[in-house]
């Protein structure tokens, strides 16, 4: 009985870990990509992000690439991007082409739900960090180039 309980607990722990942890790339896609998104969609998109990653707190700002494909975004980590050195010395990737980006900014001072967001629309080169597999894992906010 004790061995069965231990094995069951181990399987449950592994399953919960796998289910609850998105890869960095999956998290990037969920937070920063939605083809066809419009500024009016900010409240809905941010509700999903806040519940999933911010433990029901309201993230202050988040940018979403809205007119592209994941393949074009991923390519910025390779031939469709160039090295971009940040002031702090980190070397990220800057897209060679521009993307349509919706930036959702929290209204009001509180970071507790209910959260309301105002969306703004821009076309810009994106600056991202990539992993060893040449997949995006971080969107650098505030770089309208």
* Active-site residue list: 32, 138
Residue 74 is inside which H or E element, if any? helix 70-74
Distances from the Cα of 46 to the Cαs of 28, 29, 37, 42, 122, in angstroms?
14, 13, 12, 6, 18
DSSP tally for the chain: helices H, then strands E: 4, 7
Q: What is the edge-to-edge ordering of all strands in the sheet holding 61-65? A: 61-65, 99-106, 117-124
- Let me know if 102 is exposed, middle or buried by CB neighbors in 10 A (0-12, 13-18, 19+): buried
């Amino acid at each position: 009985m004790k061995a069965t309980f231990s094995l069951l607990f181990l399987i449950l722990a592994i399953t919960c870990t796998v289910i609850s942890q998105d890869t960095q790339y999956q998290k990037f896609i969920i937070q920063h990509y939605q083809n066809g998104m419009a500024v009016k969609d900010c409240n809905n998109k941010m509700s999903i992000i806040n519940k999933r990653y911010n433990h029901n707190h309201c993230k202050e700002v988040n940018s979403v690439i809205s007119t592209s494909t994941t393949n074009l975004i991923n390519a910025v980590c390779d031939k469709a991007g160039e090295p971009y050195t940040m002031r702090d010395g980190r070397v990220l990737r800057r897209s060679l082409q521009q993307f349509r980006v919706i930036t959702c900014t929290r209204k009001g001072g509180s970071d507790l739900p209910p959260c309301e967001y105002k969306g703004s629309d821009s076309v810009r080169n994106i600056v991202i960090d990539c992993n060893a597999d040449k997949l995006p894992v971080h969107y650098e906010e505030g770089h309208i180039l």
